[in-house]
Amino acid sequence: MSEVAVRHDCPVCGGRKGFWRSFWDTFRRFFKGKGDRLEYIAVAEIEANPYQPREYFLEEPHANLKASIQKYGVIVPIIVNRKRGGYTLVAGQRRLQAARELGFQYIPAIVRSLNTKQMMEVSYLENLHREDLSKVDVVMMFDRIGRKCRGVDEKELAEAMGLDVGQLHHARELMELPVPACEALRAGMISEDHAKIVAEIDDPDVMLEVIEMVYNEKLGVEETREVVDRIMKKEPNYVTSEASVHYHSPACPFTQLIPEERRMKFYSKKEVARRGKIPCMQCL
């Protein structure tokens, strides 16, 4: 007999049952009189947070969160800001997104009254210690705070981020990378070192091709540097067959025997060795 998951809340009314009802009653008493209110609010009445630093969700962690919420409900409340006619999300974007995808009509929320600066700060702090939030997202968030709230200087921003001013300037330099490299960095496809290397490529299409290869083949920084150097120097590219590796060059007659769909361009020597390929003595 398959095990049936026991839900602790009603996905329609949001009400809690059994132990969980007393748990939430205690939670409510804790917040009573502190300016915050714990309520079940309609998911449809919650608008997106315009100051949310996170724009990308990694699929696997989101799927795990969704499965947990489907089984146990939303245990940790989201935070919202009350506004006329509804609410604005302050913190808990992933929980809200998962609840929407699961068809929940209500969700537990801590209701606050915040000004613009407070909303931005809480949004940032909720995401600050998450590993999948890039420095680009962090800097963009604080730049928005600086534009909205005059009088916040670089030193204050750096201290809030746990950086010194020099590190803040370094993080801002990442925002000036070409769009393909910057977006790949924000999405977690490549590291900062990878992004700086692929940014040297002038052709955006070639840059995207290299980024995809770095991500799919899990190339290291040194391997990526070798690939980019070969492209920048316009040296012939490697192609590979089942057992050997060749330059993509008319000088090697074996290259023409490899079907186009089986050719792996921009192959690095380390990747060749790692895969156990044998170099073609005629063209290498």
Q: 97 and 25, same structural domain?
A: yes
* Per-residue pLDDT tens digits for 224-241: 888 888 778 755 555 555
Q: Among all chains, which residue has been given the structure tokens 């073609």?
A: 280
pLDDT reported for residue 204: 87
**Residue 27's CATH number:** 3.90.1530.10
Tell me: the pLDDT tens digits for 72-127?
888 888 889 888 888 988 888 888 888 989 989 899 998 988 877 677 767 666 66
Residue 134 covered by a domain: no
Per-residue confidence (pLDDT) for residue 4, from 0 to 100:
38
103 vs 235: CA distance, rounded Å? 54
Domain around 254:
238-279
- Using an 8 Å Cβ cutoff, are 219 and 268 in contact? yes
The answer to whether position 121 is within a domain reads no
Q: Is 228 part of a structural domain of the chain?
A: yes
- Do residue 187 and residue 210 come from a single domain? yes
Range list of β-strands (E), 18-166: 37-42, 46-47, 78-83, 86-91, 106-112
- 87/40 same-domain check: yes
User: Are residues 44 and 82 both part of a single domain?
Assistant: yes
Number of structural domains the chain divides into: 3
Q: Is there a single domain that holds both residue 49 and residue 95? A: yes
Same-domain check for residues 106 and 23: yes
Q: Are residues 27 and 108 in the same domain?
A: yes
- Please tell me whether residues 38 and 105 are part of one structural domain: yes
Q: Where are the beta strands (DSSP E) in 176-219?
A: none
pTM flag (> 0.75): no
Same domain, 224 and 259: no
3-state SS track over 51-65: CCCCCCCCHHHHHHH
pLDDT at 74: 86
In the predicted model, what is the mean pLDDT of the chain?
Answer: 70
Residue 97, domain member (yes or no): yes
Contacts of residue 58, Cβ cutoff 8 Å, sequence gap at least 6: 132, 188
The tokens for 212 are 């995809």
